[in-house]
Amino acid sequence: MPKIVDHELQKAKVAEATWRVIQKHGIEQASVRNIAEEAGISVGSMRHYFSTQSELLSYSMKRVSERVSQRIYDTVFSGDLMQDIPSLLHEVLPTDNEKRLEMEVWFSFVVKSLSDDSLRTLRHQVDDELRSIFVTVFNGLSESQLLLPGLDFAIEVERFYAVLDGLAIHAVMRPERVTPEVMVAVIRRHLLSLCQPGVHSMAQKPDSNAKKEQPRDT
Amino acid sequence: MPKIVDHELQKAKVAEATWRVIQKHGIEQASVRNIAEEAGISVGSMRHYFSTQSELLSYSMKRVSERVSQRIYDTVFSGDLMQDIPSLLHEVLPTDNEKRLEMEVWFSFVVKSLSDDSLRTLRHQVDDELRSIFVTVFNGLSESQLLLPGLDFAIEVERFYAVLDGLAIHAVMRPERVTPEVMVAVIRRHLLSLCQPGVHSMAQKPDSNAKKEQPRDT
DNA sequence: CCTTATTTAATACAAATGTGCTAAAATCAA
DNA sequence: TTGATTTTAGCACATTTGTATTAAATAAGG
């Protein structure tokens, strides 16, 4: 009988090597040779798991999305929406090095998917999933009667989702400015701005984020 | 005397050819040969304007940013902030095919700049410029005493900027969902949410965007 | 210790890449 | 028209690319 190797584990190892290559040298350097070297195996060996480069990249992109999904799935909820929504979004935003790696790689794949049909579908799926989180969020807030009256849900979903992805991009591009603390503060502020005054922020000092800073002249 | 060719005009032509190649086939296909073919000139000829590929890409990226700056600069203002701010952001967001091309190409360069030092500086400059617009916006709103009291300017700047870039990304990725109308509505809603009730939206029917839609179950 | 199925490594090859070099074409002043 | 000078085109060359093929190494069953 043959040498037994965990196929899935090897594929995952190669996928993670792909991420590192992309982060360090850009997706244009994600050649089969560079990835094999990063993974510590030979090209011929790698081809046993991925018969084409396109397969390899698709799989690597899928693995990123699965990692993010897993993170969301693993999030523990308290029942307090004003606590749970920031917690959830904290797991999506690049608030540590591991998540930043994922996000940088994800953006690389996303941009590539603009001109690569084999990646487009997955991008749309992930986009739909992520967006549906915000639909769920608004349903939850609405049922708990925390929301301000008269909100246009469709617009608010797009707005909240835009805040999330905008923060994510900015955190990746300017980590020294858009720190985890800034991200959390922005998310919390946005959430509070959608809710009735007074009702929200149970077990959280109310309004502690609303310092009255003066704008600087420019 | 030699043949006279408008150097700058030729360089601009090549830069725009670069954009089209990137939009159609991705930045990894932005080779000197592909770009020269798209521009309708020979490789040897192109090398007369850009001695290296790195130069070519840097210049093309710079041209995109200049186009956006020019658009901002050309925007005419009415004096009514509640009108002018959406107008200004409308010029930045990908609200038509030309601007969508720019934005797709810009994102390609931005992602590449994560692993290419020769592009990093320009990205930071543009980022700083764009962000400073929001500082200016908040200064203006503050001076006109339109703002809600107690706002944390630093957080609000990041939030508004995140809404902008998030919308831009989503519009590029999902143009059928994030239409120009949606973008305008989100921007307007965000702006209004920052301002005192009643005071805002001169010459604009107040609250016309606030339909009471119900969230759909998912 | 063999046998055998499977993984791994190495090599091969055509295509595409960036860049250098050379000769032809084109243009304006004389 | 002539001549000077720049633009243009084409080829050359070493590297890197994706993929195919082939031989060696490996591990489990007999």
Whether CB of A42 is under 7 Å from strand C: the answer is: yes
In CATH, which superfamily holds the domain spanning A64-193? Tetracycline Repressor, domain 2 (1.10.357.10)
Fold topology of B66-194: Tetracycline Repressor; domain 2 (1.10.357)
Checking if the pLDDT of A205 tops 60, the result is: no
Summarised one tens digit per residue, pLDDT across range B152-181 is 999 999 999 999 999 999 999 999 999 999
Please report the pLDDT score of residue B61 as a whole number: 98
Cβ neighbours, 10 Å, residue A84 = 16
Selected residue with higher pLDDT from B18 and B10: B18
Q: Does B98 touch chain A (CB under 8 A)?
A: no
**A1-51 and A64-193 agree in CATH topology:** no
Query: How far apart, in Å, are the Cα atoms of A23 and each of A46, A49, A59, A97, B185?
Result: 20, 22, 16, 12, 36
CATH class label, A1-51: mainly alpha
- Distance between CA atoms of residues B215 and A50, nearest Å: 43
pLDDT classification of A196: cutoffs 50, 70, 90? confident
**Enclosing H/E stretch for A196:** none
Q: Which nucleotide is nearest to B47 (CA to C1')?
A: C19
Q: Does B176 touch chain A (CB under 8 A)?
A: no
Please judge whether A158 and B164 are an interchain contact, meaning their C-beta atoms are less than 8 angstroms apart.
no
Instruction: Mention every residue, 6+ apart, whose C-beta is less than 8 A from residue A69.
Output: A129
- The domains of chain B are located at 1-51, 66-194
Whether CB of B198 is under 7 Å from strand C: the answer is: no
Summarised one tens digit per residue, pLDDT across range B131-150 is 999 999 999 999 999 999 99
Whether CB of B53 is under 7 Å from strand C: the answer is: yes
Report the pLDDT averaged over residues B64-85. Answer: 95
- Distance between CA atoms of residues A100 and A28, nearest Å: 19
| DSSP assignment string, B86-116 | HHHHHHHS--SHHHHHHHHHHHHHHHHHTS-
- Distance between CA atoms of residues B38 and B22, nearest Å: 11
Summarised one tens digit per residue, pLDDT across range B36-59 is 999 999 999 999 999 999 999 999
The two structure tokens encoding residue A90: 């904290």
Checking if the pLDDT of A203 tops 90, the result is: no
Distance A60 CA to D27 C1' (A): 29
Cβ neighbours, 10 Å, residue B3 = 4
Please judge whether A182 and B107 are an interchain contact, meaning their C-beta atoms are less than 8 angstroms apart.
no
Q: Does B5 touch chain A (CB under 8 A)?
A: no
Lookup result for tokens 């090549």: B14
Angle among Cα A35, A40, A41 to the nearest 5 degrees reads: 85
- Are A168 and A180 within 8 A, CB to CB? no
Please report the pLDDT score of residue A208 as a whole number: 38
Checking if the pLDDT of A207 tops 90, the result is: no
Distance B49 CA to D2 C1' (A): 29
Whether CB of A43 is under 7 Å from strand C: the answer is: yes
User: Among A61, A97, A92, which Cα is nearest to A75's?
Assistant: A92
The two structure tokens encoding residue A217: 């002249």
The two structure tokens encoding residue A216: 């600087």
Summarised one tens digit per residue, pLDDT across range B181-192 is 999 999 999 999
Distance B28 CA to C5 C1' (A): 40
The two structure tokens encoding residue A46: 């790698």
Q: Does B148 touch chain A (CB under 8 A)?
A: no
Q: Does A128 touch chain B (CB under 8 A)?
A: no
Please judge whether B213 and A115 are an interchain contact, meaning their C-beta atoms are less than 8 angstroms apart.
no
Checking if the pLDDT of A92 tops 90, the result is: yes
Please report the pLDDT score of residue A197 as a whole number: 83
Q: Which long-range contacts (CB under 8 A, 24 or more apart) does B207-213 make?
A: B207/A150, B209/A152, B209/A155, B209/B185, B210/A150, B210/A151, B210/A152, B211/A152, B212/A149, B212/A150, B212/A151, B212/A152, B213/A152, B213/A153, B213/A154
